[in-house]
Chain A
Amino acid sequence: MNEDHPSNRQHFPLSLGEVTEDMRNLTSEELFRWLATVIDESSPETTPFPSTWTRHTALAMVYRSCDLPLQLRFSDAFGRLLESFEPQPQAASSDRHYLFSLLSLAGTVRSDRAKKRLCRWLYLELFRDWEEKPFNLHGELILATAAYDPDDQWVEYVSTLLPTRPFFDKVARQAFRALLQTRAVDCLKLLPAMLKVLPPEDEDERVQFGYLLGLTVDRCGFDVFLKKAVKALGSARLTVAQAIAAVSFLDRFLSETLENSDEQIDTSVRYLTSKLWQPAIEKWRGMNDEDNYRTFVEILGSCHDYYTIIPQAFVKDVLGVLTFRGSYELVVPTSLRHLALFFKDYGDYEEANKPLARAAGAAAGALD
């Protein structure tokens, strides 16, 4: 008996290659138990391998280093492991962490068994409230299932049902990414729902969603992206404020993404103006006073970058000007009550923007 053999060195950490070799000698049952122990960070056992990796990453590296027969056995054991996980309604922290590890590994170690279990969890939405900060585990489940050549039911769930769920905002980017991976440009069907839940003042969310949109442009090209995005938004029954916010978001994203291409920027501006901005403004003009003012307040709340207050001293009866790349829409107070409300809510904003307001006032005066 060789006392230096890794399997004889109890608790002695093993290299990746040694772990793989040890796995080869395990029965299916032993492999299942070994995997269950190693992936569970709350287990009193430490990993057999010392590592700068997390356990799921180390296991993914082990899986990658296996030959095909061993990978198949590994996948089968992993599928059994998923099946053996019984989620409790009130998940303990260790349960959430364990599930996070399983879902992390699920994108690498794939099997039919795993796919069935993951999809079942997905459609039952068992983990919609589970978090392993900063991750929502239903979102991680969507990403994990995207690695399994998903079928039409999956696409229907992610693109149609999911946006109607009250928790969609927590999983929106993962859903978009999953659709992008599996159905490429069809992910843009989620764009209206994404923009509805994107917090208007959250610059971080904007940048991170912009990254995913950038990948979409990489994948399908600028022209297809623009047409599909605008088509999705145009058919989504957006409110006027949502449409204006969508124009604001897309315009900023495209300006940043296409920073060296004037021609593409011109194209996108023309397209956004004619297909989204103008129809929204027309709809706004057709509203009664009450709805018109409510819309005005909504627009201010979501994209006040496009709105400039004009002091009454400059242009009588014009409250401000909403501008988008050469298109102007003057905002006229419809009643004294609305005007009083406006100044109560936005007085500070006006004070802070006086120089800008003066310049815009002059511009609006010229228009008048």
Chain B
Amino acid sequence: MPADLRRVKTYLSRALKHRVLNKARFVTWLEDVLADDFGRVLAVNLYIDLRTRSLAPALVIDVLDRMATKAPSLTTARNGFYLCVEQECQPGCLCRHPSKPPALAPGDQYARILPLLSMIDYYLRAALSISPNAEAEDEVRRKFYGAGPRTRLGIVKNTWRGQMNNVWLTSLTLLLKSIDGLPDGEKGNEVRDRLGFFGTDAGTLVYVAYPPDFDNVFIPTSLDAHSGCYFFLSPPPPPPPAWGLTCSLASGKKGMEERVHLAFDGLSDDYRSEIIGDITRPSSPDVHYLLDQALSRT
């Protein structure tokens, strides 16, 4: 095990072992989580969050204690941890970074980036009474993104939450800058890679721009991630972070800055959505780069 990881292991053990209810289970879990690359990334994220006081130890201990009351997970230690976060620890562990992030630059707005099919599932499905299939996608493209008069997002009154009760955002200015000058066929790929959307190998990415005065946001921690956030990395110290900084899927590309907010019902006409671009090729996630980046932040 590299020296950096040994340091992470020692720190987590010292910080958590004496406070968890089931010490033997914790020791086993820590061994297991360090056994594969994505588990190591989780361990590093917890290390960063605890060392920088971005997370109170009690929040992590709560997850570990709840996990210890269940039968040992059939999946990896890392996935078992996030299943517990998803199924048992929300909303107590979401949006718990203690520092209020600085305001956006004047003229900037927050933007949520998601696949069009997820846009339908989360936002439009209930409002339009639509079944999520190819026909629905065609209709939404025409009515919400077409050249004619567009249906406005105020029609969305109830949103479906899915598994997580939080939402990830980036800066609209940063997003537009990241795709400026790219050919249309590359815009979706670029944003997918830089946001670490591992596995999003087809479909279309869209963004939802928030009203300019929306500011109820938090810096993300490792407890805001979920089992699908393989490329999330906690922001490095010092100085105190203003944003989360997810790792890009590919080396040589910078990750995107991110913040989170707790989910809420419905949108208004002050929100607007645009298509970013189609995903035209599969991603090539570089796990070694991810781990290098993670360790470089320790």
Contacts and interface: CB of A to CB of B under 8 A. Distances in A.
Are A and B subunits of one complex? Answer: yes
Interface of A: 11-17, 41-42, 44-47, 49-54, 56-58, 60-61, 64-65, 104, 107-108, 132-135, 139-140, 143-144, 146-147, 173-174, 176-177, 181, 204, 207-208, 211-212, 215
Interface stretch (B15-23, B98-106, B129-137): B129-137
Contacts of A41: 163
B276 interface: no
Contacts of A204: 157
11 contacts: A13-B38, A13-B198, A16-B199, A45-B75, A50-B198, A107-B133, A108-B132, A132-B160, A134-B159, A143-B129, A147-B131
A44 B73 contact: yes
B92 interface: no
A52 B201 contact: no
Given A16-B202, A45-B75, A208-B157, A53 B118 contact: yes
B76 A11 contact: yes
Contacts, number: 129
Interface string B119-144: 00100011111111111100100000
A50 B115 contact: no
Contacts of B262: none
A49 B203 CA distance: 15
A145 to B, nearest CB: 10
B191 to A, nearest CB: 11
A246 to B, nearest CB: 20
B162 interface: yes
B54 interface: no
B199 A57 contact: no
A52 B197 contact: yes
A56 B133 CA distance: 11
Contact of B132 (A104, A181, A207): A104
Given A60-B117, A134-B160, A13 B230 contact: yes
B298 interface: no
Given A61-B117, A211-B155, A46 B199 contact: no
A173 B118 CA distance: 21
Contacts of B151: 211
B222 interface: no
B75 A44 contact: yes
Given A46-B75, A211-B127, 13 more contacts: A11-B76, A16-B199, A16-B201, A41-B163, A44-B73, A50-B199, A52-B199, A54-B162, A57-B132, A104-B121, A108-B133, A207-B155, A212-B129
Interface in B189-246: 197-203, 227-230
Nearest to A100: B160
